[in-house]
Amino acid sequence: MTPRAEELLAPAPEAPVEALPKPPTFAIVITAYQAADTIAAAVRSALEQEHSAEQVIVVDDGSTDDLAGALRPFDAAIEVIRKPNGGGASARNRGLEAVDAEFMAILDADDVYDRRRLGAIAEAARIRPDLDVVTTDARFVVEGERGDTFSGGTPFAVSDQRTAIFETCFPGGWPAVRKERLEAIGGFDEEMRIAYDWDCWLRLILAGCSVGMVDAPYYDYVLRADSLAANRTASLWERVRLLEKARLDPHLRESERPRLESAIHWRRSEALREEVRAAAASAGGRSRSLRLLGTRDVDLRARAMAAVAAIAPGLARRVLGVPGRHA
């Protein structure tokens, strides 16, 4: 499907851009861990794209379930890479090494592409060859039911992408990325377990990449209670970590630093409030809240929540509306 001009959201090009005579090439990389129950649907959606990918690569990140059996019907159509378990970032980096196309398109093993997705991305990349990261909107899927779109809660940033990325992960977790630009920044940070996608897009954008989005929900993003990102406290602190890393990014401009510091302060406060909530609901919540009182660079509300939880845990549980045990 060719996106209408109004459907492609992207910053204005910095210089005149001439459309390519044909789209660039794409490889779809599917990273999988313990995904035998869902991988077939993901692979099938990649193979049934109206605009075919040059490669469909599955990276098995050390699964112990019967992922190999689930992939067997697709043996002739896909490339399978098996590696010891190292997390999502290492799996994506291993997939990147196998990509022979110009773009690496991302698909998680429990998600699916709409048949039109790669064609929409390919046409957008043809029209705007200055874009290094191209995505589509996504639709959240909870217990088999499609719900809200990603952009409905996280609007795509058309302008000021260099600082907007400090505040929200507006590209989502599933874009297509130009291989040479991804390699130039060293790929995904394998020390990060949760927010490695946001960290990667941030580094790409600071390095000069622009992001475009086809404004159509052509990706089904399945929300699972057992996913790493479902641990909200850990996820929030990982966001703090990626922003603190950005302080040392060689491409960060001094004029951008105040907005980065503001984002760090906001995220630290958000993470502390969530951790206080978790502490209040746990055994030993009082001592845990006392330790949290020492957290620096947070707002007064977060610090006050920690103080109440440390001094009067029962009151904190009632105020926060959380169940709990005796401290």
Task: Give the count of beta carbons closer than 10 Å to the beta carbon of residue 33.
Answer: 19
Q: Dihedral sign for Cα 33, 34, 39, 42, please.
A: negative
Chain-centroid distance of CA 311 in Å reads: 38
Name the β-bridge partners of 7: none
Distance CA 239, CA 309 (A): 24
Q: Percentages helix, strand, coil for the chain, rounded to the nearest 5?
A: 45, 20, 40
Largest separation between any pair of C-alpha atoms in the chain: 68
Residues near 101 by Cβ (< 8 Å), separated by ≥ 6?
Answer: 24, 25, 26, 27, 53, 54, 55, 179
Give the whole-angstrom CA distance, residue 176 versus residue 181: 11
Distance CA(118)–CA(109), nearest Å, equals: 17
pTM of the model as a whole: 0.89
Q: CA-CA distances (angstroms) from residue 91 to 57, 209, 223?
A: 11, 23, 20
Instruction: Give the whole-angstrom CA distance, residue 156 versus residue 326.
Output: 44
pLDDT, residue 285, reads 58
* pLDDT tens-digit profile, the chain (327 residues): 444 444 899 999 999 999 999 999 999 999 999 999 999 999 999 999 999 999 999 999 999 999 999 999 999 999 999 999 999 999 999 999 999 999 999 999 999 999 999 999 999 999 999 999 999 999 999 888 888 999 999 999 999 999 999 999 999 999 999 999 999 999 999 999 999 999 999 999 999 999 999 999 999 999 876 554 457 888 999 999 999 999 999 999 999 999 999 999 999 998 888 887 776 665 555 566 666 666 778 877 776 766 766 666 565 455 555 565 543
Give the residue extent of every domain in the chain: 6-225, 253-320
The topology (CATH level 3) of 6-225 is Spore Coat Polysaccharide Biosynthesis Protein SpsA; Chain A (3.90.550)
